Amino acid sequence: MKTALISGISGQDGAYLADLLLKQGYSVYGTSRDAQMSSFSNLSRLGIRDKIKLESMILTDFRSVLQTLTKIQPDEVYNLAGQSSVGLSFEQPVETLESMAIGTLNLLEAIRFTGAKIKLYNASSSECFGDTKGLPADENTPFRPRSPYAVAKATAFWEVANYREAYGLFACSGILFNHESPLRPERFVTQKIVKAAIDIAAGKQDKLYLGDISIQRDWGWALEYVEAMYLMLQQQEPDDYVIATGETYALESFIEIAFSCVGLDWKTCVKSDSNLLRPTDIAVGRGNPSKAEEKLGWKAQYKMPDVVRMMIEARHS
Ligand code: NAP
C-alpha cells in the first residue's frame, strides 16, 4: 500500500485529492497548520474524515516539515497548502510569499536531506503567466506574474524545477488554471456569484456587487483537476504540465448562466463596485493543455457552463 501526504488537505483540492487517493488504495495523511483546531469540514462533507490520518505541519518551519516527513515516510507528497487567494495576496504579500516560496523550499530541502525516494507534486498556477494577450499559455510560455500570489507561485515553480535538475528529485509542478466545485470558499468570485444568484432568487439578498466582470478565464471542474495531479506522479519521469479545459469565457458569461439557472436576468441584480477592483489584474487567461492530453491521457470533460450548473445544483441539493 502506498502512502500519500497532502499538505493543505482542508482545502477544496485537498479534500477531492484525498478522496481520489483513498479510492486508489492509498494510506492518506493530511496536514493542516493546526490539525487540532481545523474542522476539516470538506473532508466531512465528502464522508472521508475518519479515513484520513491528520497531522499539524507548518511549512515555513523546517523542523516541522522534516519531522512530519520522517514520521510518515510518504511515497508521494502533494503540496497544496498556502495562502491561495489572489485578491488577499495584495493585502498579505509577505504571508503569501512565505507560505508558498519558503514552504515549497522547505519541502524540497527536507526530501533532499533525508534522501528518501519521495515524489513531490507542487500546486502551481496559471496566474504565473500574467497577461498573455489572449494567446494560449503552454509549458514554454514565459512567466510575467501580476500579483503577489503569482510572484509566490512563480518562485515555487522555479524552486521545484531547480531541485529536479540539480538533485534529480522526482518533483513536478501542475500549472493549473481556475477550477471550481461546491467546496470552493465564498471569497472566490465563482462561489460568490452562485450563492448570490440563489439568495437573490430566494429573496434573501438584494444585489450582487462585483469588480471587473470583463475579465476572461478558463474554469474547470476541480474533481477532474486532482486526477491530473495524481497522474503526474505516476509517470516514469517528472515534468511540469499545464492543466486547463482549453476554453476561455468572460466572467459576464459565468454570471449570466448562474442567474439564468435560477430564472433571473443578471443585469437587474449585479452592480459594479470599484472597491473590488484589483491593483493589477489579468484581462484574459487562456491555456493549452495538449501536453497533458498527450502525455498523461488527461482531458477536461466539463467546461465552464457545466461547472456553473453543477455548482448551482449542489447548493440546491
Ligand atoms: P484552498 O481551498 O485555499 O486550500 C489551501 C489550504 O492551504 C487551506 O486549506 C489551508 O489549510 C492552507 N493555507 C491557507 N492559508 C495558508 C497560509 N497562509 N499558510 C499556509 N497554509 C495556508 O486552496 P485550493 O483551491 O484547494 O487550492 C490548492 C492549491 O492549488 C493552492 O496552493 C492554490 O493556490 C493552488 N491553485 C488553486 C487553483 C484553483 O483554481 N483552485 C488554481 C491554481 C492553483 P489549513 O488552514 O488547514 O492550514
Tens digit of each residue's pLDDT (9 = 90 or more) over 110-165: 999 999 999 999 999 999 999 999 999 999 999 999 999 999 999 999 999 999 99
Q: For residue 119, give the H/E element and its range.
A: strand 119-125
22/237 Cα distance (integer angstroms): 24
Q: Are strands 171-176 and 179-180 parallel, antiparallel or unpaired?
A: unpaired
Q: What percent of the chain is modeled with pLDDT above 90?
A: 98
Predicted confidence (pLDDT) per residue in 39-60, tens digit: 999 999 999 999 999 999 999 9
pLDDT band at residue 76 under the 50/70/90 scheme: very high
pTM, entire model: 0.97
User: Is 30 close to ligand 1, i.e. is its CB under 6 Å away?
Assistant: no
Predicted confidence (pLDDT) per residue in 5-49, tens digit: 999 999 999 999 999 999 999 999 999 999 999 999 999 999 999
Tell me the mean pLDDT in the region 269-284. Answer: 93
311 φψ region: left (φ > 0), alpha (ψ -120 to 50), beta (else): alpha
Site to probe by mutation for ligand 1, drawn from 13, 20, 32, 84 as the one with most ligand atoms within 8 Å of Cβ, is 84
pLDDT at 314: 96
Cell of residue 146, nine digits: 501580476
Give the bridge partners for 119, in sequence order. Answer: 76
pLDDT above 80 (res 317): no
- How far is the centre of ligand 1, averaged over its atoms, from the C-alpha of 82 (Å)? 5
User: Is 83 close to ligand 1, i.e. is its CB under 6 Å away?
Assistant: yes
Give strand ranges (E) for 1-118.
3-7, 27-32, 53-56, 76-79
